[in-house]
Amino acid sequence: RAKNLGRNRYAFYTSELTADAHQRMALENELRHALERDEFTLVYQPKLNLKNGQLDGVEALVRWEHPQRGLVGPEQFIALAEETGLIVELGRYILDSACAQLGAWLHQGFAPMRLAVNISGAQLRDKHLLKNIEQVLERYQIPPCYLELEITEDFVMDHQRESVTLLQQFRQLGIHLSIDDFGTGYSSMAYLKELPLDTLKIDRSFVSGLPGAQDAAITQSIIVLAHNLGMSVVAEGVERQEQKILLEQQGCDVVQGYLISRPLPASQFAKSFLRHSA
Ligand code: C2E
Ligand code: MG
Ligand code: MG
Ligand code: MG
């Protein structure tokens, strides 16, 4: 009986594995083509500064305008793009279009604001990244202080020594550095004091539990920790007014989430959130 079960199970796994591998290959091919065919686009989500009620900056988030499947979110393809190395090319494209957009907004006379771009671990391991970023800033005439890179804890933990050096180089250029999804990775407090970070973004999973006591204790602790280390704090995934109010009481600097706005296409974002400089 056990043997039988084993055999069945084996058969089940093989077919599933094959189907899975097949799907991945198909998706990988599609990703390559999507880059050539320019099917990626960016949406923009504002960050609201709680201290002055003003726009604190904006985060660019990638979307895939798939000809058949419609709008596909990054959760469906970023991991695969990382595994296949396509993320380097995709990441370059994202950085270029985000900076092109910011350059256009500045050129149109909108008040300058900081633009955040998500950078995955695989991109940080690309030895051309620094040079590439410098070139993009130069190309679109963007002062480095208006660029923010959002990185995740995992890269930092896996590559402690190299990451300190690389992040210091970004910092020297004047680029703003944030740690994204804080609290979800296998965090260590040690790296927080080693790394030249400006901002800590509290992961949505803690914010969604607010105003629950457990999560409130976590968000309060993160805010105090960040401030004591000289960093500012952004809470991501704020969906309800009561969450925003509590975060404000806890001393959080900036909030981001559907309560403020969903990520928007560039033109809509500009219409709703950008103001001409005086
Ligand atoms: P993230 O950087 O932590 O971005 C926040 C995610 O939460 C975004 O999902 C955003 O649309 C979503 N979000 C924002 N506010 C709320 C809210 O109030 N409620 C809920 N439920 N969700 C909210 P998205 O755009 O699907 O991106 C998912 C992740 O994919 C990002 O997490 C980031 O890690 C990655 N990603 C997105 N764009 C890029 C990119 O251009 N490059 C790279 N390397 N990764 C990206
Ligand atoms: Mg992010
Ligand atoms: Mg995040
Ligand atoms: Mg997140």
Distance 8 CA to ligand 1 centre (A): 40
What is the residue whose two structure tokens read 């002062």?
Answer: 143
Structure confidence at residue 7 (pLDDT): 46
Structure confidence at residue 69 (pLDDT): 86
Q: Which ligand is nearest to the CA of 201?
A: 3
Q: Is 94 in the pocket of ligand 1 (CB under 6 A)?
A: yes
Q: Which ligand is nearest to the CA of 150?
A: 2
3-state SS string over 46-108?
A: EEEECCCCCEEEEEEEEEEEECCCEEECHHHCHHHHHHHCHHHHHHHHHHHHHHHHHHHHHHC
What is the residue whose two structure tokens read 């320019």?
Answer: 38
Structure confidence at residue 47 (pLDDT): 98
Structure confidence at residue 62 (pLDDT): 98
Contact of 176 with 150, CB cutoff 8 Å: no
Structure confidence at residue 6 (pLDDT): 45
Look up the pTM and report it.
Answer: 0.92
Q: Which long-range contacts (CB under 8 A, 24 or more apart) does 266-272 make?
A: 266/42, 266/43, 266/44, 266/101, 269/43, 269/44, 269/46, 269/58, 270/105, 270/110
AA letter at 78: I
Structure confidence at residue 21 (pLDDT): 82
Beta strands in 85-237 (DSSP E): 114-118, 147-152, 176-182, 199-202, 232-235
The whole-angstrom distance between residue 124's C-alpha and the CA centroid of its chain comes to: 13
The residues near 55 (Cβ < 8 Å, ≥ 6 apart) are 46, 47, 48, 49, 113, 273, 274
Report angle CA 111, 114, 119 to the nearest 5 degrees. Answer: 150
ipTM: 0.98
Q: Is 51 left (phi over 0), alpha (psi -120 to 50) or beta?
A: alpha
* Structure token digits, residue 13: 């796994």
Structure confidence at residue 277 (pLDDT): 83
- Pocket probe for ligand 1: among 45, 47, 61, 151, the residue whose CB has the most ligand atoms within 8 Å is 61
Surface-to-core class of residue 213, CB atoms within 10 Å of its CB (0-12 exposed, 13-18 middle, 19+ buried): exposed
pLDDT means per 10 residues, the chain with 278 residues, are 45 59 85 94 98 97 93 92 92 98 97 96 91 98 98 76 88 96 79 89 97 97 96 98 98 98 98 90
